[in-house]
Amino acid sequence: MKLILTLLAAALLLSAQSRPIVLKAARMFDGKGDRIVSPGLVVVAGGRISAAGPGAQLPANAETIDLGDATLLPGLMDAHTHLSMQFAIDFDKELLDGLKKTPAERALEATEILRKTLYAGFTTVRDVGAADHVDIALRNAVANGRIPGPRMLVATNSIGATGGHCDGLAGFRRNLFGRESGIEDGIGNGADAMRALVRYNVKYGADVIKTCATGGVLSLTDDVDTPQLTQEELNALVDEAHALRRKTAAHAHGAEGAKRAIRAGIDSIEHGTFLDDEALDLMKAKGTFLVPTLMAIEGLKIALEKGNMLPPAIEPKARAAAKQIDETVRKAIQKGVRIGLGTDAAVYPHGRNAEELTHLVRLGMKPLDAIKAATSADAELFGIAARTGSLEAGKLADIIAVPGDPSADIRAVTRVFFVMKEGVVHRNGK
């Protein structure tokens, strides 16, 4: 009798868990179309969307969640994050803390960052550079349901040249760390080395290959716009990554380094601060995505306003980037360059990712196009558009709700109050 009661309770629990869910709101945007529709209806069953749109048929036995005067959207995506790193406006203190903390400590701290990012409405992210394979551990823990967080596509080590932006040992005295940078750090020189680095990263679990094609703002030994990889090196890197069915992303502020990456077939240019017309036209012709990371500039502005927080080698680069980026992104939008949404989370305080959409609109993008950049466009860039990125039958039930109408006020996306990922409600409340 006890066994029968146990089996009956289990059957009732399974039945309750398998009940369809109907999400209702005043409006919805599917992430692909050209307009918001009313009312917003999405039916979720088994972690996937079974129907969406005003005409969706509603199952009789469904649980209904009525979100009121709100707009249903696909879960947002961020193409450029560093979720195992903390934001800090004091460069020297951040560096010292990084040397003190163990990988385990950084992973534990990152669990709160992941939760904060998910609660901001971001159900999928690319993490484009982390030390000690902490990003692999976080990705797997989220995928296995051990911790809440966005779905993660990870790069492990960023790949670059000796002494370049990706070389974390550049700027320190020789042998301070007992060795020179090598394959385990993502550093190499020559076309064959680039292929080896790609294979090494894929061996240890990389979903995406990220490289540094130019200097960077937050590196101590290079100019921000100098090219750092030859055309042959980039050709080999992209060819090897694509052969292994991995997408590629290039950190590139300067025009020449970016053009080399674009000619090589890179899938996205990250930052793109000093791109010229030739680079933008080449991106338009080849369908290369630009991921502007405008929120990184907001983080740099915080440090510049505080004063004495950036080393002398970095401060002028930060000011130059802040001065130029708006003009470049405006021009890219006007030319019709494909835009993906990415923020460089960790260079600004985590959880403010959605503010990137407001900056894209400020620079000339239509609100619904900005939402597309953060949903269906990013899904295409990531190579996961068949699974998520829009509110369509068969897609994973990654769904958020924002108050009001984001097509009238894009700032609504910064006020996410409902988050569902693969049919599981993680946040429901203002």
Whether 368 is covered by a domain: the verdict is no
Same domain, 274 and 154: yes
pLDDT score, position 30? 97
Range of weakest confidence among 184-188, 216-220, 379-383, 390-394 = 216-220
CA angle 383, 333, 116 (to 5 degrees): 55
Whether 3 is covered by a domain: the verdict is no
Q: How far is CA 322 from CA 140, 195, 220, 325, in A?
A: 36, 34, 18, 6
Give mean pLDDT, residues 352-370: 98
Q: Which residue has the higher pLDDT, 219 or 320?
A: 320
pLDDT at residue 84 greater than cutoff 80:
yes
Q: Which residue has the higher pLDDT, 297 or 311?
A: 297
pLDDT score, position 48? 97
Whether 8 is covered by a domain: the verdict is no
Same domain, 126 and 70: no
pLDDT band, residue 90 (cuts 50/70/90) = low
pLDDT tens sequence across 20-34: 999 999 999 999 999
CA angle 115, 121, 124 (to 5 degrees): 80
Distance CA 305, CA 287 (A): 37
Same domain, 141 and 97: yes
pLDDT band, residue 5 (cuts 50/70/90) = very low
Q: Which domain holds residue 57?
A: 19-74+391-428
pLDDT tens sequence across 325-340: 999 999 999 999 999 9
Whether 10 is covered by a domain: the verdict is no
Cα-Cα-Cα-Cα torsion 125, 269, 388, 423, nearest 10 degrees, comes to: 10
CATH number of the domain that residue 118 is part of: 3.20.20.140
pLDDT score, position 7? 40
Same domain, 198 and 95: yes
Same domain, 306 and 342: yes
Whether 232 is covered by a domain: the verdict is yes
pLDDT score, position 178? 59
Q: Which two tokens stand for residue 21?
A: 């869910």
pLDDT score, position 194? 98
pLDDT tens sequence across 173-217: 677 665 777 788 899 999 999 999 999 999 999 999 999 999 999
Average predicted confidence (pLDDT) for the chain: 92
pLDDT band, residue 380 (cuts 50/70/90) = very high
pLDDT score, position 307? 74
Same domain, 270 and 285: yes
Q: Which two tokens stand for residue 213?
A: 């094609």
CATH number of the domain that residue 399 is part of: 2.30.40.10
Q: Which residue has the higher pLDDT, 110 or 173?
A: 110
pLDDT band, residue 93 (cuts 50/70/90) = low
Q: Which residue has the higher pLDDT, 55 or 401?
A: 401
Which residue, chain included where needed, has tokens 């101590």?
220
Whether 366 is covered by a domain: the verdict is no
pLDDT band, residue 313 (cuts 50/70/90) = confident
Same domain, 178 and 81: yes
Give mean pLDDT, residues 280-299: 97
Give mean pLDDT, residues 352-381: 98
Same domain, 100 and 62: no
Q: Are strands 76-81 and 122-127 parallel, antiparallel or unpaired?
A: parallel
